Every structure is written in C-alpha cells, then in structure tokens.
Chain A
Amino acid sequence: MASTQVIDRWQSGVDRWSGGVCPFAAGWRKVMMWWFIVTDGLLFAGFLASYGYARILTSSWPDQAEVFSLPYIAAMTFVLISSSATMAGAVDAAKRGAWDGALKFTLATALGGLIFLGMQAYEWTHIIGEGARLASNPWGDRAFGAYFFLLTGFHGSHVLTGVIVLLTTAARSAKRLSTAEGVEMTGLYWHFVDLVWVFIFTLFYLL
C-alpha cells in the first residue's frame, strides 16, 4: 500500500490498528518510548512497593528529618523540576523549528541534570561519611541503607543516562541533524526521570 494511502486511512480514523503504521495515532518511536516508560515505571513501582512493605513491618525506621537535610533535598527537587520545564521548552522550540532555542533549552536541561547529579553525589558522600552502608546504618532498621542506595542510585543512573542522551541530542541539534520527534523522545525520557523523583521524594524522604 502506498504511503499516502496509509496516511489517508489513518487520518480518516479507519485504520489505526492495521499493521503498526500509526497505532494510537502516534509515531512508532513515541509508542515504543511510552512502552519503555511504562515498563521502567513498573520497575520503580516494584522497588517502592518493596520499600513500603519494609517500612510497614519495622518499628525502627529512621526519622528522615534527622538523617537528611530536607531543604537540601528540596533544592534537588527544584533543580529537577526546573530542568523538566526547560526540557518542555526545548521540545516546544523544536516543534516550532526554532533550533537555536531548542539547543539552548536542551543544554540548560543537561546542566540541570549535572547539577542534580553533583548534589546527589554530595548527599551520598555525606550519608556514607555518617556510617551508612548497604547492610547497616547508625540510625535504625538495617534495610534503610539498602533502600536509600537502591532507590536513589537507580534513579541517579537514569539521570546520568538522561544527561548523556541530552548532550547527544544537543550535539545533533547544533548540527541540525535532530528532528522534532527526536527531541520529543528525549523529553519524554527526561520528564519520566522527573516523574519518578516525585514519587521517591514523597515516599522516601517525606513520609
């Protein structure tokens, strides 16, 4: 079937499931990215469910306010939320064809990611210096250290991956090799990283 016929059938709403051309009226890259986000989200959901289970079963879970500096964690949250906003700006600029703006916003997002990673490295150094390890810690239940390093480490590895993808996207944008859809895929991943932090921040640091 000719490409234009396929597009016409899709646009008429007749053929949205006929062979994977446009399932959900979205490009295949976007659909695959959403599948990745759902499956990766389930991985984090499993971690957080396991953490919730550990919290319920123990009476000696440390008081987070004594272990962490909540204003510092709030600053990390501010950086990540702001980087998500600049990423949205990059996607918006790319869709308008404003590639200089897209490049600047993408670089600002990568900078936000690097700042977040630096802050997290400082936090880890501080916590390790206080005596926290995977199997022990000086504040309470021994599982606390394991969950802290597992949850924040796994999220941090996602941030690091995101920064690499952002810098790659920025380099491609600078050479005008990127497409608007490519920038959007990078944005979807970066917003997902921000989304996961919303849950970690609330469930692990606040509750």
Chain B
Amino acid sequence: MAHIDAAHAGSAGGGGRVYWITWGALLVITLIMLVLDSAQVSRALLLTVLLGAMLVKATLIAGNFMHLRREHRGLIATVVVGLFVMGLVLYVLIAPDASRIHDMVMRR
C-alpha cells in the first residue's frame, strides 16, 4: 500500500502557481459579485450572474484546490452527478410540491 500512497501523493504536487491563480480568480469573482449586488440591475440579471459566479467559484475550488479535475473520471462523475441529481430532486421536485401543499393548507 505504500506504493499506492506514494503514487497518489505524487499525483497532485507542483500546483503552486495554479493555486495562487485560483485564489486571485476567486477574490476577483467575489469582488464582482459584491459590486453587482449593490448596483442598480434587474433582479433577473442579478440572479443569473450571482448564481453563475457561485457555480464558477465552486468549480474552481473543487477542480483546482480539491484536485477533483485530476481524479479518476468515475470519482468525478460520482461526486458531481450525485450532488447534481440530489440538487435537482431538492429544488425541482420537492420544493414545488412543498409549495403546493402549503397552498392547499392556506386555502382551508
């Protein structure tokens, strides 16, 4: 197992420059989000840009800091698809149904 540990240990070394670029990108994106949040823009545009920026930041952290982009495709698929599908279930299926039940209760 020591061989395996060594192989994995070597798989993510030497990324110093990538880390600092990622750090800078995350800070710049956060700054843009803050500026936009205080600017006079439509709610739809604000939602789109902020949610898009949030996903970009999450991708940068998972891909570069957590080295997910260097992992086996099966691991990437399991993590990303698993979270994405559960997110869809929570937001697309459960939330509207909860809203429907809430409306039924309010109508009584």
Q: Which A residues form the contact surface with B (CB < 8 A)? A: 3-4, 7, 10, 16, 21-27, 30-31, 34, 37-38, 41-42, 45-46, 49, 52-53, 56-57, 65, 70-71, 74, 77-78, 81-82, 84-85, 87-89, 91-92, 94-96, 179-181, 184, 187-188, 191-192, 194-195, 198-199, 201-203, 206-207
Contacts and interface: CB of A to CB of B under 8 A. Distances in A.
B80 to A, nearest CB: 10
B83 A45 contact: yes
A90 to B, nearest CB: 10
Given A26-B71, A26-B72, A42-B83, A81 B30 contact: yes
B32 to A, nearest CB: 11
Q: Interface range on chain B: under 10, 10 to 19, 20 to 34, or 35 or more?
A: 35 or more
Interface of B: 1, 3-5, 8-10, 12-16, 19-20, 22-23, 26-27, 30-31, 33-34, 37-38, 46-47, 50-51, 53-54, 57-58, 61-62, 64-66, 71-72, 74-75, 78-79, 82-83, 86-87, 90-91, 94-95, 98-99, 102
B101 to A, nearest CB: 11
A10 B62 CA distance: 25
A57 B9 contact: no
B107 to A, nearest CB: 14
Contacts of A31: 75
B26 A81 contact: yes
B5 A181 contact: yes
20 contacts: A16-B74, A24-B71, A24-B78, A34-B79, A38-B79, A49-B91, A53-B99, A84-B23, A84-B65, A94-B9, A95-B10, A179-B9, A180-B9, A181-B8, A184-B12, A192-B66, A194-B65, A195-B66, A206-B37, A206-B50
B4 A96 contact: no
A95 B27 contact: no
A145 B33 CA distance: 24
Contact of A82 (B23, B66, B91, B94): B23
